Structure 1
Amino acid sequence: MGRSQWSRLAAAAGLAAVLSAAGWIAAAEGPGSYAIDPAHSSATFQIEHLGISWVAGRFNEISGKAAFDRDNPAASSCEVVIKATSIDTAIEKRDAHLRSEDFLSVKEFPEIVFKSTAVKKVAAAQPGADTAYEVTGDFTLHGVTKPVTLVLHGGKEAEFPEGAHRIGFFGEFAIKRSDFGMAKMLGPVGDVVRITVSAEAIRK
């Protein structure tokens, strides 16, 4: 086989690869249902201590589902469930106190839940984020449900392992714990809680 034939075959193979990739991207960007991957998702928080520093923690058990339509964001939705007992600030004595009736009351209220009620596309404000979406929903903590709004950045997609289409988002919002019936130790422990969620979800 001559050099020109090899060149034509290589060009054809390259074109086929490009077209194949383009087809996958188009398919991946269409409407889809997703399940949150707990191994690659996190829910972290920060709260002020004595008005001079911030203590950080996380919840180790997070799950949920989402429907995402890039072309029609209003048709998108998500639900995130966090196991309250999985709180982790790296100090077991403090974690036990946070699980108690003074704070989370995990025996009575085992789950922290966010359910979206509206989604709309907005201008991305974070570096490296392709798109951003304003998500409004009902946030349930300590048996109290209140509306919250956060901006989710991301929307990038990948395939790993083969056949597993993934999408990722991250966002932040803040609440006052006293609004959710947790008013113990206000002063030494701050009222405002900053919450960050990073989610990677696998297309069903």
Structure 2
Amino acid sequence: MRANPLTIAAAAVFAVGQLATPSARAESFGIDPAHTSAVFSISHLGYSYTYGMFREASGTVEFDKDDPAVCQFQFAINAASLDTMNEKRDEHLRGADFFNVKQFPQITFESSSVEKTTGADGKAIYNVTGTLTMHGESREVTLPMEYLGEGSSPFNDYRVGFLCQTTLKRSDFGMEFMVGPIGDNVGVTVSFEAVRK
């Protein structure tokens, strides 16, 4: 029995379409500022570490846990929102010696690629490579985003959460004031929830 040529053609088109269509589509999320923490630490004289945080952050995430190729991460932090619980020090950090927030009001990150790996504890890690811009300087960095989970919340929405822990050199971003007495390496911890749109 000969196959119908139209049936063969339809099957071929369907197969090509299946190959061209990702197995899943990335979902869009918006970062929840109330459940986002951006914390930094830096050595002072080698005798202690000073800790601070940024209180205002926003961003979007395109996420599919099974297909890192379609994932995207974008963040913006209000540099003037830094807080080390010392008003005099905070004003100095906002000034020209450090963040110079009047000239460079935002710290931004935009991803260019994402790769998925597995951590020692078996948790998924998304290595997010992209452009970090701070103090008017842009550098390519790779941020390890530990996937904490996703699901429905008591707020009648659907959320996904991540933890990022990394180290940056402030001198790479043109902040060289008192490198030595004040550390060059800055520990950065960011944890956030993002709500599905």
- TM-score tier, shorter chain, comes to 0.7 to 0.9
More helix by share: 1
Q: Which residue of 2 aligns with 1:23?
A: none
Which of 66, 69, 83 is residue 64 of structure 2 equivalent to?
Answer: 69
- Deviation, structure 1 residue 138: 0.6
**Whole-angstrom distance in 1 between the partners of 2:46 and 2:92:** 20
Alignment partner of 1:42: what SS?
A: strand
> Any residues of structure 2 matched to 1:52-131 within 5 Å, and which?
52-125=47-120, 127=121, 130-131=123-124
Query: Is 2:44 the partner of 1:49?
Result: yes
Q: Which amino acid aligns with 1:85?
A: A
Stretches of structure 1 that go unaligned for 5 or more consecutive residues are 1-28
**Deviation digits for residues 134-171 of structure 1 (CA, Å, limit 9, x no counterpart):** 11111100000001112111241131235400000001
Q: Which amino acid aligns with 1:59?
A: F
Instruction: Assess if the C-alpha contact under 8 Å between 1:139 and 1:148 holds in 2.
Output: yes
- Deviation, structure 1 residue 113: 0.5
Q: How many residue pairs align between the two structures?
A: 174
Q: Which residue of 1 aligns with 2:166?
A: 173
- Deviation, structure 1 residue 73: 0.8
**Whole-angstrom distance in 2 between the partners of 1:52 and 1:122:** 36
Report the identity percentage. 48
Which of 193, 201, 204 is residue 194 of structure 2 equivalent to?
Answer: 201
- Deviation, structure 1 residue 131: 1.5
- Deviation, structure 1 residue 173: 1.6
**Segments of 4+ moved more than 3 angstroms:** none
**Whole-angstrom distance in 2 between the partners of 1:64 and 1:161:** 22
- Deviation, structure 1 residue 176: 1.0
Q: TM-score, normalised by structure 2?
A: 0.84
More strand by share: 2
